[in-house]
Structure 1
Amino acid sequence: MDTATEFGRLLGPLRRAVLRTRRAEGLPDLPEAQIELLRVLAEAGTLTPGEAAVRLKAAPSTVSNLVRTMVAADLVERTPSTTNLRTVHLAATPRALDMLDRYDRISTAALRQALDSLSPRSRQAVERAIPALAELLVALEGQASGGGRA
């Protein structure tokens, strides 16, 4: 068994399974990129589009496109800076923050129920894997930014 191949094959289906729990609860099906931007804004409060791009490790044009779509959907507010007329500040709307909270509660409940249905041995294996998965994420992000090892 090749761990990278098998793990890669599981990532998409796992993500889609969690997304299905959100749909089952009547929540809108937001793209992951929008959810990530909302998480960054919820954590920071307000950011400029450039700051959001840095935190998301995304191109400024990508963030600009996300913001345009999300402003139209009443998920993000754009407020002009009071000190620099060329700068805007982004914030998640109350509606978006509520939706994000509901996403998290529903996803967490579904994951908790699924984990509880596993054998104790499998559940412990998943719990033990969490730190390694966090480390794997850091390694993948390092590769994506050109900091990976050859």
Structure 2
Amino acid sequence: MTELDAGRLAAVVSPLRRMLLGAARSREQLPEIPDAQIEVIRALPAGTVLAPSVLADRLGVQRSTVSNLLKSMERAGLVERRAAAGDGRGVEVEASARALDLFGRFDLAAAAVVTEAATALSDEDRAAIAAAIPALERLRDALG
């Protein structure tokens, strides 16, 4: 059985993520969006409308944190808040068309950056990375 070198994996993932974010932003000339706001938008894919309390529960953060995030995101045009349907006291939130466009462009740019960088790798390295993706997805889910 192969031992997982958790420290080495963590030391690779963090800079890899930063490099990918920077390269994709640069490629598409995208604005820098804080990580916490990115998490909110990822939790609100197209067509998803949630109450802030539900969003807080899904993200595992305090409701006050989500409230503050939503205020700044609304000012930046990244989310839209409105009265909840059937309940004038409640609020619903969804990602704006602008946010969905930015994230669509980011995802395409990130995929292109990875594709281009992978051409410098051997066939064996590309195969190993492809084979690792399902395990990395499960690790992400276990961490979440």
TM over 0.5: yes
Deviations 1:25-76 (A, max 9, x none): 3100111221121122125521110111122222222211210110010111
Counterpart among 21, 24, 27 of residue 23 in structure 2: 21
CA–CA separation in structure 2 for the residues paired with 1:80 and 1:9:
44
Question: Which residue number in structure 1 is paired with residue 89 of structure 2?
Answer: 86
Could you say which residue in structure 2 is the equivalent of 1:61? 64
- Identify if the C-alpha distance between structure 1 residues 41 and 127 changes in structure 2 by more than 3 Å, giving closer, same or farther: same
Structure 2: gaps of 5 or more residues: none
1:98-132 residue CA offsets vs partner (Å, 9 max, x unmatched): 11111111111111112232111111111111111
The higher relative CO (CA closer than 8 Å, separation ≥ 6) is in 2
Distance 2:51 2:126 in 1: 41
TM-score by length of 2: 0.89
Please name the residue that 2:138 is paired with: 135
Match of 2:42 in 1: 39
Work out the CA distance in 2 between the residues paired with 1:102 and 1:40: 17
SS of 1:42's equivalent in the other structure is coil
Q: Secondary structure at the match of 2:87?
A: coil
**Would you say the 8 A contact 1:19–1:29 is kept in 2?**
no
Residue 79 of structure 2 corresponds to 76
Residue 44 of structure 2 aligns to a residue whose secondary structure is helix
Q: CA RMSD in A?
A: 1.7
TM-score by length of 1: 0.85
Q: Which one-letter code corresponds to 1:19 in the other structure?
A: L
| Identity fraction in percent | 40
Distance in 2 (alpha carbons) for counterparts of 1:47 and 1:2: 38
Per the TM alignment, residue 78 of structure 1 is displaced from its structure 2 partner at its CA by 0.6
Aligned equivalents of 1:67, 1:38: Cα separation in 2 = 10
Corresponding residue number in structure 2 for 1:146: none
CA distance in 2, matches of 1:51, 1:85: 17
Aligned residues: 141
Distance 1:44 1:50 in 2: 18
